[in-house]
Amino acid sequence: MSRSTFLAARNSRHRTAALALYRALLRTASRIPLAENAPKHPLAQIVRKRFSKNTGYKSYRLIYAAMAAGYKFLNLLTRAQTPNSPEHSQVLNHLQSVRSTTAHSRTKPHPKQYKRAPPPEPLLINVAKENEPPKYTSNILPRPKESLKGPRKVPSVSATADGQPFVRLKKPQPYTLSKMIGRKGRIFSNRIENIMDLDERVTSEAALEDEWDRMMDDLLAKESGQGGKRRRTVPYSWDAEDDAKMETFGWSVQLSRLWWEWKVEKTWEDWIARGDALQELVEQERALAEREEGQSNAASGRRNRTPRRNPLDPDDSPPNVGVSTVQAMPLLDIARDIELPSDSKQVQDGGAYDPFLSPSWSALVKAQERRMLNWTGRRAERGE
């Protein structure tokens, strides 16, 4: 059996001994005669500082050494109560040295206190109004020529495997940027995994729970019919009213799935808006770089020749493909049409805000109600 760690603060015997020693030192130190012009007794302050400094000790060796030193100084302070004794002279000499050291340290100029730098401004700022799709702009890009130390280097727009856009401004890539990209990617992946978990595991478990409830309802109906004491209930069927379906476990699973689909669409819409804004800012940077390069070439006397087009480069003509008429973000379009500014007002006021009671969520559930009811019924009939 491993030996348990000694915690001095949780040991009643050590705590009692330490408090008794602390109070004895304070009483003894306050009785030592000092100069009359001393405003406060400095020995009591020294005792308090030393005890507060040693409160974090957990080692037997350090605790034993501190307690032994405390009892040693208790004897010293007791003998120092007698004036003109060697111990009294030793205490006065120590206090004099402390005063001289403190006065000398005060004469030295203190280092300049630097204020904490404010956090940097974000690269993209959402300027969209309430109840509108996100729209981003930047106060950093495009960069003015005066802020550059050398020739302008055009940044590049990149994206992760999940489709999260970001811009590379310099090499190597900053650690904070990599950390934020990984964090947002994990959040998006977790939402997708939650949808998959609902389809593959939770839906089947909810169907079994609903089947158990139907069996119990049938038994209760039979018992009430035989004994006549219980009111006969309507047998549960998936062809019954929709209100009965909304009281099942399967319906709650579909609500959870709708919630995560809504969150995924919000993330995807935000990433698309960020990608468009970054691409536009990079194009502005490229235009400024070409303009500055053309001015430098004209100043040096060199002709600006149009580079020959590489046949391997993709053509800039629009692709000859059809355009889908399906809404890209159907859930967001439904919620945005009904969402009221009162939701955001409650959040800004700092009051309690429940997103499941908002008008946008109610409208979204109402619009997707038929689809979720049909899906719930099919899952229950299959017995998944």
What secondary structure does DSSP assign to 206-235, as a single string? HHHHHHHHHHHHHHHHHHHHHHSSSPPPPP
pLDDT of residue 41: 76
Average pLDDT on 361-366 reads 85
Out of 3-17, 119-133, 223-237, give the one with best mean pLDDT: 119-133
- Say what percent of the chain tops pLDDT 70: 77
Q: Which amino acid belongs to residue 67?
A: M
pTM of structure: 0.60
pLDDT of residue 231: 43
pLDDT of residue 378: 64
pLDDT-based confidence at 362, cuts 50/70/90?
A: confident
Asked which of 37-46, 121-130, 373-382 is least confident by mean pLDDT, the reply is: 373-382
- Say what percent of the chain tops pLDDT 90: 35
What secondary structure does DSSP assign to 264-285, as a single string? HHHHHHHHHHHHHHHHHHHHHH
CA angle 169, 170, 175 (to 5 degrees): 95
Residue 49 tokens read as: 């500082």
pLDDT of residue 72: 94
CA distance 107 to 256: 68
Q: Where are the domains of the chain?
A: 8-103, 122-218+247-297+373-383
Q: How high does pLDDT run on average in the chain?
A: 81
Residue 253 tokens read as: 């699973």
Out of 78-87, 325-334, 339-348, give the one with best mean pLDDT: 78-87
Average pLDDT on 22-43 reads 82
Q: Which amino acid belongs to residue 313?
A: D
Of 339, 372, 333, which is closest to residue 253 (Cα–Cα)?
A: 372
First to last CA, the chain: 49
CA angle 28, 29, 30 (to 5 degrees): 95
Out of 5-14, 207-216, 238-247, give the one with best mean pLDDT: 207-216
Average pLDDT on 296-325 reads 60
- Residue pLDDT, tens place only, 226-285: 544 444 344 444 444 456 667 889 889 999 999 999 999 999 999 999 999 999 999 999
pLDDT of residue 75: 93
Q: Has residue 140 got a pLDDT over 70?
A: yes
CA 344, 349, 355, 358 dihedral sign is negative
Of 123, 103, 229, which is closest to residue 174 (Cα–Cα)?
A: 123
Q: Has residue 171 got a pLDDT over 50?
A: yes
pLDDT of residue 239: 46
pLDDT of residue 333: 77
pLDDT of residue 382: 53
More reliable by pLDDT, 18 or 242: 18
pLDDT of residue 2: 59
pLDDT of residue 305: 52
More reliable by pLDDT, 245 or 83: 83
DSSP state of 146: G
Q: Has residue 132 got a pLDDT over 90?
A: no
Residue 369 tokens read as: 């109600």
